[in-house]
């Protein structure tokens, strides 16, 4: 069948799409306890689950598993949504719940181990965020979450960071049909930048200008990590001479670099 894509045995090309009026009527019936309307509402929003799990495509995860987990979030959204109370579209309310279920599943099945206390704190943060979003129709700030849970702001940040999904440096973040930009292309390298490279060249050039004995003393001291006593024994001069030659060589290097 052309365009057929199956996930969990469901032909996604034939998934129902509900109109806004149909969705509102079904939600009102769901609120009255109509199980048939509940089933129709869930089946009519499976595309919403698909749109959410596509964010996790390419990570090596089993998409069937993610779809099933996402459906749990969809069911929660259908059961909790009140069209008389909430002034947002069902999709706006449902996506965070679906996304939360998927992320929770990925965290629990992750090979990275997080302490139980940190994980429990993170779950409390997630639950608080979901409840706040449901009540105020917006996501809370970190300060608001910290105040509700009576935690320090940094504790909230640490808890959420601890359960965040690791991202590959080679994961693409942008492509316009040409070269793909990956995460590693956006990470700043404070050490191996052009400025550090030029400084390294200047230092090497300044070292090469030193007399052979002074250069050998600096190599023993700063590249091999030997003490002045060890250098004096190896070179065959006193420690005082080593100290004097070392200071003189360093002064000459600074003069050549500046």
pLDDT at 55 (0 to 100)? 81
pLDDT at 165 (0 to 100)? 59
Looking at the predicted structure, is the pLDDT value of residue 4 above 50?
no
Looking at the predicted structure, is the pLDDT value of residue 115 above 80?
no
Looking at the predicted structure, is the pLDDT value of residue 218 above 80?
yes
Mean of the per-residue pLDDT values of the chain: 79
Is the entire prediction scored with pTM above 0.85? Answer: no
Query: Which ranges of the chain would DSSP assign to H, the alpha helix?
Result: 20-31, 35-43, 46-53, 63-80, 90-108, 116-136, 142-149, 153-162, 194-208, 212-218, 228-235, 239-257
The model's pLDDT over 10-24, given as tens digits with 9 standing for 90+, comes to 666 677 778 888 888
pLDDT at 3 (0 to 100)? 38
Separation CA 7–CA 69 (nearest Å): 13
Looking at the predicted structure, is the pLDDT value of residue 30 above 50?
yes
Q: 195 phi and psi, to 5 degrees? A: -65, -45
- Give the CA angle between residues 21, 24, 29 to the nearest 5°: 125
Which residue would you say has higher pLDDT here, 12 or 69?
69
């Amino acid at each position: 069948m052309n365009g057929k894509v199956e996930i969990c045995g469901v032909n996604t090309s034939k998934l129902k799409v509900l109109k806004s009026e149909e969705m509102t009527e079904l939600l009102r019936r769901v609120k009255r306890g109509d199980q048939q309307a509940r089933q129709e509402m869930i089946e009519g929003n499976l595309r919403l689950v698909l749109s959410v799990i596509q964010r996790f495509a390419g990570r090596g995860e089993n998409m069937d598993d993610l779809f099933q987990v996402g459906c749990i979030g969809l069911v929660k959204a259908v059961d909790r949504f009140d069209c008389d109370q909430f002034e947002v579209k069902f999709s706006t309310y449902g996506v965070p719940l679906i996304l939360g279920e998927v992320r929770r599943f990925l965290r629990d099945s992750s090979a990275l181990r997080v302490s139980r206390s940190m994980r429990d704190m993170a779950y409390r943060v997630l639950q608080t965020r979901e409840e706040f979003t449901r009540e105020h129709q917006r996501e809370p700030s970190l300060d608001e979450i910290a105040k509700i849970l009576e935690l320090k702001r940094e504790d909230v940040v640490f808890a959420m960071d601890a359960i965040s999904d690791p991202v590959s440096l080679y994961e693409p973040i942008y492509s316009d049909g040409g070269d793909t930009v990956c995460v590693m292309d956006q990470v700043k390298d404070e050490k191996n930048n052009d400025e550090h490279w030029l400084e390294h060249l200047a230092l090497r050039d300044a070292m090469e200008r030193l007399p052979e004995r002074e250069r050998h003393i600096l190599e023993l001291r700063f590249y091999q990590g030997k003490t002045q006593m060890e250098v004096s024994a190896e070179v065959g001069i006193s420690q005082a001479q080593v100290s004097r030659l070392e200071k003189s060589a360093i002064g000459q290097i600074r003069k050549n670099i500046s």
